[in-house]
Copies of this chain bind each other. A is one copy, B any other.
Amino acid sequence: MPDADRFMTQAIALARDNVRKGGRPFGAVLVLDGEVLATGVNGVMETHDPTAHAELVAVRAAAMKRGSATLKGASVYASGHPCPMCLAAMRLAGITDIFYAYSNEDGAPYGLTSAPLYADLRKPFADQQMTFSYLPVRPEGEADIYDFWREMQQG
């Protein structure tokens, strides 16, 4: 079996185990240098944490294991099509090699699709189903927080 199929089979096995435990059918495997660095399953039902998606859990675990917020060169094998949050999380970590076994089309009959959220988030901010407001508060008598940060960076 090719490596990619083997890692994806593992992601699907994780998803299946998670369903057995009462969770959602999502698993992810994060691979670096040909080895599994971390895995994740959807923990939303168990933890009530809406961000506990399989891919995001795997990214967190891998980064903390390596002691680095950057995971450049890693690949993620996700059982389901990553949602916008997870896709952005992987990108923030420098991961650009992503595989998924179930598309949003595969999941739609089960209600397991992030396509509607993708569609909304692709619109201009003002047209999305939210209010997104610039509220430029600048407390008086305090240094600007970005200037302060830059000063701290420069030691």
Contact = CB atoms under 8 A, between A and B. Distances in A.
Interface in A138-155: 138-139, 142, 145-146, 148-150, 152
Contacts of A101: 134-138
Interface string A86-104: 0111011101111111110
A84 interface: yes
A46 to B, nearest CB: 10
A37 interface: no
A133 B19 contact: no
A66 to B, nearest CB: 7
Contacts of A93: 50-51
B152 A22 contact: yes
B44 A49 contact: no
A50 B152 contact: no
Contacts of A83: 88, 92
Contact of A50 (B8, B48, B63): B63
Given A19-B149, A50-B89, 7 more contacts: A8-B135, A44-B69, A48-B64, A50-B93, A79-B145, A85-B88, A102-B136
Interface of A: 4-5, 8-9, 12-13, 15-16, 19-20, 22, 24-25, 44, 47-51, 56, 59-60, 63-64, 66-71, 77, 79, 83-85, 87-89, 91-93, 95-103, 106-107, 110, 112, 117, 120-122, 129-139, 142, 145-146, 148-150, 152
